[in-house]
Amino acid sequence: MGVWDAFKFALNVYMITTVITVLVWVMIVLVGKFTKKG
C-alpha cells in the first residue's frame, strides 16, 4: 500500500467515524425524547 492510498483509506475511516458519531448524537436526541428528563 502506497502512502497516498493509505491517506485515502485513513480519510475514509475518519469519515465513517464522523458519520457514526452523528448517529450517536441522533440516538441521544431520540432517547431524550422518549425518556424522563433529569
Q: How far apart are CA 14 and CA 3, in angstroms?
A: 16
Cα 23 to Cα 17: distance, rounded to the nearest angstrom: 10
Q: Closest distance between another protein and the C-beta of residue 15, in Å?
A: 10
**Binding track, positions 1-38, relative to another protein; x by CB under 8 A:** xxxx-xx-xxxxxx-xxx-xxxxxx-xxxxxx-xxxxx
Q: How far is the CB of 20 from another protein (least distance, A)?
A: 5
CA distances 12 to 18, 29, 36, Å, are 10, 26, 37
Task: List contacts with another protein (CB under 8 A).
Answer: 1-4, 6-7, 9-14, 16-18, 20-25, 27-32, 34-38
